Chain A
Amino acid sequence: MTDIPAKAAVASASNGSVLLTLMKARTFIALIAVLIFFSIAAPNFLSAANLILMSKHVALNAFLAMGMTFVIITGGIDLSVGSIVGLCGMVAGYLVLNGIDLQIGYTIYFNVLEIALITLAVGILIGAVNGLLITRLNVAPFIATLGVLYVARGLALLSSDGRTFPNLVGKLDLGTTGFGFLGAGRLLGLPVSIWILLVVALGAAYLAKYTPLGRHIFAVGGNERAARISGVRVNMVRMFVYMFSGFCAAIVGLIISSELMASHPATGESFELNAIAAAVLGGTSMSGGRGTIGGTIVGAFVIGILSDGLVMMGVSSFWQMVIKGLVIILAVVVDQAQRRLQSRVTLMQMAKAG
């Protein structure tokens, strides 16, 4: 009786290592699976035009998911990113159309680069508000960012009274033209938004792996008390991740209004959920401490390709939601199974050795 389960466990331990490798690579396997499936099931799926279009869709979610990844690694959550997307889009649209009226008979118009920088600053500022609420006033991240979600969305609606800022072409004599470049422009055959994604993703991955700040982000999420005693400035790390998340959301706001050449205040509703889904699918642990930028990007691609592919196959959008939900749940179930298997394998090995 004592021996039988032990032997079974050892046997499963050696099988376990193969299974474990498969489970670790699950996001990649999922990506390859959806690619193969849709290239067979959906005509034109593999055409260059379609692939580029899809990656533009994916890029939007990938930006948000990267910001979300850092936040989740520290053990927090940022529900406000969708609203920041909307608000930042409105800020950009307002500046292109109206400039800033100085109330003394003059109005300042900014060029497109300045507008982009101001918009990014607004995103970072809202992130900083999230961070201050969480670090200084000790509001739980879920609640703080939920509150900011409503406030930012409300401000976006107020900015135009709920109307769309249309036709953001700008005027040549005011120097406000060229806003469309972000959304429609191409460099070396690839859309600008993809290039930006590449730069931000490489930067974020570098930050996570090779800088003290990155190391501290993981330490705070892994064990906040230990991090504090080791001299990590936990509050600064927290501030940073929410500000970075706001920055990513501002980029998305800019790209969307540029693509549409219009700003709509409801843009970005429920984007935060897609971002969380991509991060989790990519192996980020909601309890903090684990996650990678690469994994998150792959996760974003899985979700994006899944929804675009289903659209191309003509699957009803209601079914799409069901399928997306099931994929997310499956991802987390596999993740948990992997953790359990991994710890069982090591424990069993130690029990035998000891």
Chain B
Amino acid sequence: MTAAIDHDVILKLEDVSKVYSGTVAVKRANFEVRKGAVNVLVGENGAGKSTLMKIIAGVEQPTLGRILLEGEEVSFSSSGDAVNRGIGMVFQELNLFGNLTVAENIFATREITNRFRKIDSQEQERRAAEFLERLEAGIRPDMLVEDLRIGQQQLVEIAKAVSLDARILIMDEPTSALSAAEVEILFKVIADLKARGVAIVYISHRLEELIRIGDYITVLRDGRITGQEEMKNVGTQWIVRQMIGSDAKDFAKADGHVPGEEIFRAEDICLPRVTGGLAVDHVSLSLRAGEILGIYGLMGAGRSELFDCIMGRHGHATGTIFIGGKKVRERDTTRRIRRGLALIPEDRQREGLVSILSVASNLTLASLSRFVRLFHIRGAKENQAVTQMVRELAIKVADPAQEVSSLSGGNQQKVVIGKALLTGPKVLLMDEPSRGIDVGAKADVFRTMRKLSRDGLGILFATSDLDEVMALSERIAVMSNGKLTGMFDRAEATEAALVAASALGHGPVPLTENPRP
């Protein structure tokens, strides 16, 4: 690999591994970051990109391996350490304090104070305004962060990282919630930083973006680095090959069964947002037995919120749902589960699993009443159901009495699916069912979805992965800004049409748009 003279390696990772309980996120990675260049990192969901960056930013400590900063070995015990060494990061999940103002967020932990150690708010707001100016976002520094749109919050996060004056700036999917116009502004800022010699690490799964702004590219797959090249030497073909390897995605072929009668219908579902407006905006859709309906949309489009409404997790949601033509009057989750609804939540750790309980207890948690005589859990019957589910879903576990947190991400996901299936649902809601799991487990999950739809279940599944939604769904609904902005049959759906529908209502932000006076 040849490097231009001015693109010196500033940071180097050697043989770095990171293990979480349940998953090996990064395996023996060697990664170089070059000055004055955009170092692109690419890989599928769950390939380990974010983990690798968190290690560089000091948020996570590597389990094995070492980090060299300008040839000198360093170890960061916290992100503060990394910031002191000139490493800044824009996180994928926003790390902002909603209850503080934009300026306070930008200067959090390095507040500007006067002689008496009192925070100088005016100076902070003046300086913050300078950074925000460059992002042309129309955000005032005295606004509360929780009152901003998610895209605007992302811009604040970027402004915060830029204000660090870092030598290395990591951006983890900075564009995932930005509109096209906002992306252009961000690219201008990046070009500017590059000219000043800042090393930028840029993570994204939007290939067109990467090819446009990247100088060096590194591809990750299943926690391993599978390719490292100068961007000018490679094309889309190469990137895709490195990303998915020989084992291309296995989506399990459609078997051509014909969906039956309508099994589920949602009418006029609305969910007010705390900050005003609607998180779910008059959404209606219907689903037939044996049908897989994909819901495509960007982060914050309201897909998860729609599922929450259907499950009865929000008391203040409005709208009606029908199962098998009968209106569902029950408003709480417990009784909706009994009516045949089941949710596989997006966030396994926070909402899917009780991580300190065993695999078996997690599997039967939602369906215990099936195994109970009077008030006694019949162990034999429970074990039988657990064994059967473990076999059916091919969950790799030595002993179901093991804690569920000891499993890999893919197997944990299968446990969550098994838990939902044991309740005997008629309608399955799956929120990003393939997020953060390895290729093999993904194929298993997709196969299971096919099989369930063949058995007559209605499946609603939300995803932000275009390939997935195109390959698996009979029909595709698109959501944007809480609204249903498109409904396509598989035959007529094109990627371009889906992307266009998912961007509706995400136009450039006019400078006059200020939600608070």
User: B419's closest neighbor in chain A, by CB?
Assistant: A230
Docked-complex contact B63 and A231, CB < 8 angstroms: no
Docked-complex contact A232 and B365, CB < 8 angstroms: yes
The one of A212, A227, A354 in contact with B372, judged by C-beta atoms closer than 8 angstroms, is: A212
Docked-complex contact B377 and A211, CB < 8 angstroms: yes
| Chain A proximity mask over B324-352: 1 for CB below 8 Å, otherwise 0 | 00000000011001100001010000111
The one of B19, B24, B343, B354 in contact with A219, judged by C-beta atoms closer than 8 angstroms, is: B354
Q: How far is the CB of A339 from chain B (nearest CB, A)?
A: 10
Stretch at the interface among A61-69, A88-96, A342-350: A342-350
In the docked arrangement, what's the CA distance between A226 and B313, Å?
12
Docked-complex contact B376 and A210, CB < 8 angstroms: yes
Is B509 interfacial (CB 8 A cutoff)? no
Docked-complex contact A289 and B351, CB < 8 angstroms: no
Docked complex: B416-464 residues within 8 A CB-CB of A: 419, 423
The interface residues of chain B lying within 8 Å CB-to-CB of A290 are 356
Given contacts A210-B376, A222-B357, contact A354 B313 (CB under 8 A): no
The interface residues of chain B lying within 8 Å CB-to-CB of A216 are 368
Docked-complex contact B21 and A229, CB < 8 angstroms: no
Docked-complex contact A343 and B65, CB < 8 angstroms: no
Docked complex: A177-222 residues within 8 A CB-CB of B: 210-213, 215-216, 218-219, 222
Docked-complex contact B334 and A289, CB < 8 angstroms: no
The interface residues of chain A lying within 8 Å CB-to-CB of B365 are 215, 219, 226-227, 230, 232
| Chain A proximity mask over B1-41: 1 for CB below 8 Å, otherwise 0 | 00000000000001101011100100100000000000000
The interface residues of chain B lying within 8 Å CB-to-CB of A227 are 354, 365
Q: Is the interface of B mostly helix, strand, loop or mixed?
A: mixed
Docked-complex contact B65 and A2, CB < 8 angstroms: yes
Docked-complex contact B355 and A222, CB < 8 angstroms: yes
The interface residues of chain B lying within 8 Å CB-to-CB of A228 are 313, 333
In the docked arrangement, what's the CA distance between A218 and B14, Å?
42
Q: Which of A213, A218, A226, A228 lies at the interface centre, i.e. has the most chain B CB atoms within 10 A of its CB?
A: A226
Q: How far is the CB of B56 from chain A (nearest CB, A)?
A: 17
Is A6 interfacial (CB 8 A cutoff)? yes
The interface residues of chain A lying within 8 Å CB-to-CB of B406 are 346
Q: How far is the CB of A202 from chain B (nearest CB, A)?
A: 14
- Total residues of chain B contacting the partner, CB 8 A: 42
In the docked arrangement, what's the CA distance between A230 and B313, Å?
11
The interface residues of chain A lying within 8 Å CB-to-CB of B20 are 347
User: A6's closest neighbor in chain B, by CB?
Assistant: B64
Docked-complex contact B21 and A346, CB < 8 angstroms: yes
User: A288's closest neighbor in chain B, by CB?
Assistant: B356
| Chain B proximity mask over A1-28: 1 for CB below 8 Å, otherwise 0 | 1100110000000000000000000000
- Chain A contact-residue range equals 20 to 34
In the docked arrangement, what's the CA distance between A1 and B75, Å?
13
Docked-complex contact B15 and A351, CB < 8 angstroms: no
The one of B19, B353, B375, B379 in contact with A226, judged by C-beta atoms closer than 8 angstroms, is: B353
User: A289's closest neighbor in chain B, by CB?
Assistant: B356
Is A233 interfacial (CB 8 A cutoff)? yes
In the docked arrangement, what's the CA distance between A216 and B361, Å?
10
Docked-complex contact A215 and B63, CB < 8 angstroms: no
The one of A1, A212, A219, A347 in contact with B63, judged by C-beta atoms closer than 8 angstroms, is: A347
Is B278 interfacial (CB 8 A cutoff)? no
Given contacts A223-B353, A227-B365, A347-B21, contact A1 B66 (CB under 8 A): yes
In the docked arrangement, what's the CA distance between A347 and B354, Å?
19
Docked-complex contact B356 and A347, CB < 8 angstroms: no
The interface residues of chain B lying within 8 Å CB-to-CB of A347 are 19-21, 63
The interface residues of chain B lying within 8 Å CB-to-CB of A2 are 14-15, 64-66
| Chain B proximity mask over A223-242: 1 for CB below 8 Å, otherwise 0 | 10111111111000000000
Q: How far is the CB of A255 from chain B (nearest CB, A)?
A: 27
Is B385 interfacial (CB 8 A cutoff)? no
User: B350's closest neighbor in chain A, by CB?
Assistant: A225
The interface residues of chain B lying within 8 Å CB-to-CB of A6 are 64
The one of A222, A231, A346, A351 in contact with B333, judged by C-beta atoms closer than 8 angstroms, is: A231
Q: Is the interface of A mostly helix, strand, loop or mixed?
A: helix
User: A228's closest neighbor in chain B, by CB?
Assistant: B333
In the docked arrangement, what's the CA distance between A343 and B350, Å?
19
The one of A213, A226, A229, A348 in contact with B311, judged by C-beta atoms closer than 8 angstroms, is: A229
User: B348's closest neighbor in chain A, by CB?
Assistant: A226
Docked complex: B205-231 residues within 8 A CB-CB of A: 223
The interface residues of chain A lying within 8 Å CB-to-CB of B337 are 230-231
The one of A218, A219, A233, A343 in contact with B21, judged by C-beta atoms closer than 8 angstroms, is: A343
Given contacts A212-B372, A229-B313, contact A351 B351 (CB under 8 A): no
The interface residues of chain A lying within 8 Å CB-to-CB of B368 are 212, 215-216
In the docked arrangement, what's the CA distance between A354 and B19, Å?
9
Docked-complex contact B361 and A215, CB < 8 angstroms: yes
Q: How far is the CB of A228 from chain B (nearest CB, A)?
A: 6
The interface residues of chain A lying within 8 Å CB-to-CB of B345 are 226, 229
Docked complex: A321-354 residues within 8 A CB-CB of B: 343, 346-348, 350-351, 353-354
Q: How far is the CB of A244 from chain B (nearest CB, A)?
A: 15
The interface residues of chain A lying within 8 Å CB-to-CB of B375 are 211-213
User: B377's closest neighbor in chain A, by CB?
Assistant: A210
In the docked arrangement, what's the CA distance between A351 and B406, Å?
13
Q: How far is the CB of A52 from chain B (nearest CB, A)?
A: 34
The interface residues of chain B lying within 8 Å CB-to-CB of A343 are 21
Q: How far is the CB of B217 from chain A (nearest CB, A)?
A: 25
The interface residues of chain A lying within 8 Å CB-to-CB of B352 are 226, 229
In the docked arrangement, what's the CA distance between A2 and B16, Å?
9
Docked-complex contact A350 and B19, CB < 8 angstroms: yes
Is B369 interfacial (CB 8 A cutoff)? yes
Q: Which of A215, A225, A229 lies at the interface centre, i.e. has the most chain B CB atoms within 10 A of its CB?
A: A229
The interface residues of chain B lying within 8 Å CB-to-CB of A348 are 19, 63
Is B191 interfacial (CB 8 A cutoff)? no
The interface residues of chain B lying within 8 Å CB-to-CB of A232 are 334, 365-366
Docked-complex contact B66 and A354, CB < 8 angstroms: no
Given contacts A229-B345, A231-B423, A232-B365, contact A350 B24 (CB under 8 A): yes
Q: How far is the CB of B306 from chain A (nearest CB, A)?
A: 15
| Chain A proximity mask over B299-316: 1 for CB below 8 Å, otherwise 0 | 000000000000101000
The interface residues of chain A lying within 8 Å CB-to-CB of B19 are 347-348, 350-351, 354
Docked-complex contact B24 and A351, CB < 8 angstroms: yes
The interface residues of chain B lying within 8 Å CB-to-CB of A351 are 17, 19, 24, 63-64
Docked-complex contact B357 and A219, CB < 8 angstroms: yes
In the docked arrangement, what's the CA distance between A230 and B348, Å?
12
The interface residues of chain A lying within 8 Å CB-to-CB of B21 are 343, 346-347
Q: How far is the CB of A88 from chain B (nearest CB, A)?
A: 27
Given contacts A2-B65, A228-B333, contact A354 B27 (CB under 8 A): yes
In the docked arrangement, what's the CA distance between A213 and B354, Å?
15
The interface residues of chain A lying within 8 Å CB-to-CB of B65 are 2
Docked-complex contact B343 and A229, CB < 8 angstroms: yes
Docked-complex contact B376 and A222, CB < 8 angstroms: no
> 8 closest pairs, A vs B, by CB?
A354-B24, A222-B354, A230-B366, A231-B337, A212-B368, A231-B334, A223-B354, A351-B19
User: 17 A–B contact pairs at CB < 8 A?
Assistant: A5-B64, A210-B377, A211-B372, A215-B368, A218-B357, A223-B355, A225-B351, A226-B345, A226-B352, A226-B354, A229-B313, A230-B366, A350-B24, A351-B19, A353-B24, A354-B19, A354-B24
Given contacts A6-B64, A222-B357, 8 further A-B contacts (CB under 8 A): A210-B376, A212-B368, A212-B369, A216-B368, A225-B350, A228-B333, A229-B333, A350-B19
Q: A-side interface residues toward B, CB under 8 Å? A: 1-2, 5-6, 210-213, 215-216, 218-219, 222-223, 225-233, 289-290, 343, 346-348, 350-351, 353-354
